[in-house]
Amino acid sequence: MPQNGAPVSNWVESLLRQEIKGVCPKCGKYESDQSGSFTNHHINGVPSISEYWNLIRLCRGCHDKCENHRGEARYERDIKRMKANLFRDFLGHTTYDLLLRAYEKESVLTFPYIARTLLQLGLGTLTQENPGTFGAAQDKPTFSVYSLTEQGKKWAGELNLSWGETEQST
């Protein structure tokens, strides 16, 4: 939890821990069971915004380096790119592509299993179930139409997600 900011919800804290898989995304240091070895960094520097899209979990050393470089455009751009990469890897490439397509097009037609992660995270919603089936699957959803929730739109916008924007900097 941040020391001088809004508390981080248990749900967001859980997502942050899951997305780094116990490893600092900046230096590769493993998160230990010792309290305080990792902390959440406010990407935009505003501790009152403790939402998922504004937080990245880092080891204490990398967090301190981020704070020391605050205001340096390249360093801040790299942290934002790192967060977008973590988010893409956390969702999986197929679900990430679905999120981008839904953000651009308002809704998408896809298999239910592909949209499952967006639904579980509250980022997507079922718009039209089973508009068409194929073959013997007449009573089973083959394709359904999904759109983003307000939270899904906010995360996609705040993380500045777009095609090809999450590549590593040179």
Please write the tens of the pLDDT for every residue from 72-108: 889 889 999 999 999 999 999 899 999 999 999 999 9
Q: Enter the tokens of residue 47.
A: 């501790």
Q: Report the C-alpha dihedral over residues 138, 141, 142, 147, rounded to 10 degrees.
A: 140
| pLDDT, tens digit (0-9, with 9 covering 90-100), for 108-159 | 999 888 899 999 999 999 998 776 666 665 666 678 899 999 999 999 888 8
- Does residue 108 share a domain with residue 50? no
Half-sphere exposure of 113 (CA within 13 A, CB side): 2
- Does residue 99 share a domain with residue 27? no
The 8-class DSSP code of residue 52 comes to: G
Structural domain containing residue 145: 93-158
Q: Compute the distance between CA of residue 99 and CA of residue 110 in angstroms, rounded to an integer.
A: 11
Q: What predicted TM-score, i.e. pTM, was given to this entire model?
A: 0.80
Q: Enter the tokens of residue 92.
A: 């999986």
Does 5 fall in a domain? no
What is the greatest pairwise CA distance in the chain? 61
- Does residue 58 share a domain with residue 109? no
- Does residue 74 share a domain with residue 102? no
Does 170 fall in a domain? no
Number of domains in the chain: 2
Residue ending a domain, among 56, 91, 126, is 91
- Does residue 19 share a domain with residue 59? yes
- Does residue 124 share a domain with residue 147? yes
CATH number at 124 reads 1.10.10.10
- Does residue 84 share a domain with residue 14? yes
- Helix-helix angle 73-91:93-105, to 10 degrees: 110
pLDDT at 8 over 90: yes
Beta bridge partners of 30: 23
